[in-house]
Amino acid sequence: MITISTPEAMFQLGVKIGSQLRAGDVLVLNGPLGAGKTLLTQGIGEALGITGITSPTFVISRIHKTGSSGVPLIHVDAYRLIQSENPIFSLDDLDLDSERENAITVIEWGGDLAARLSDERLEIFIDRTKEVREVSAVGHGSRWKNFSL
């Protein structure tokens, strides 16, 4: 676990994580509203040469075309899915599998939904119950065996 005390530090953590990513990777960001999930994703985008990342809360999913890395970024905000009164509509309905192998996928609020997408995923947890944020990561699958923040 690491502590993050400023928005700039959260962004830089995203840059650090993003520099280690490759096509097909799935990241799940967990934390309450205002924890810094989108800021972390912006840092990941910076590492990939992608700018203009905003929260996809209202559109649910946004595909950012390739930056200098040559790899697109799929940014999903599942908050509206988990809050939906229609249980039929879910992450599966976004058809991410068709794009996911050639892109990096970052899912905010993915929780248990993202486990269905990939056995190989990195889950990042952001705790903001204290003055500083505490960030930890749990890797699932061999891809993330030796990953550390």
Domain that holds residue 13: 2-142
| Residue keyed to tokens 């939906």 | 84
What confidence tens digit (pLDDT) does each residue in 31-47 have? 998 999 999 999 999 99
Per the model's pLDDT, the better-predicted residue between 45 and 60 turns out to be 45
Tally of domains within the chain = 1
Tell me the two tokens of residue 107: 């899912």
Burial class (CB in 10 A: 0-12, 13-18, 19+), 49: middle
| Residue keyed to tokens 């990241």 | 27
Residue 59's nearest CA partner among 77, 72, 33 is 77
Cα distances from 116 to residues 13, 26, 79, 113, in angstroms, run 26, 11, 16, 6
Is 13 within a domain? yes
| pLDDT of res. 88 | 42
How far is it, in rounded angstroms, from Cα 1 to Cα 98?
A: 33
- Whats the size of the chain, residue-wise? 149
What confidence tens digit (pLDDT) does each residue in 63-121 have? 767 667 789 998 887 765 555 555 444 545 444 555 667 899 998 876 766 666 778 99
Looking up residue 81, the CATH number of its domain turns out to be 3.40.50.300
**Is this structure's pTM higher than 0.75?**
yes
Is 149 within a domain? no
Is 74 within a domain? yes
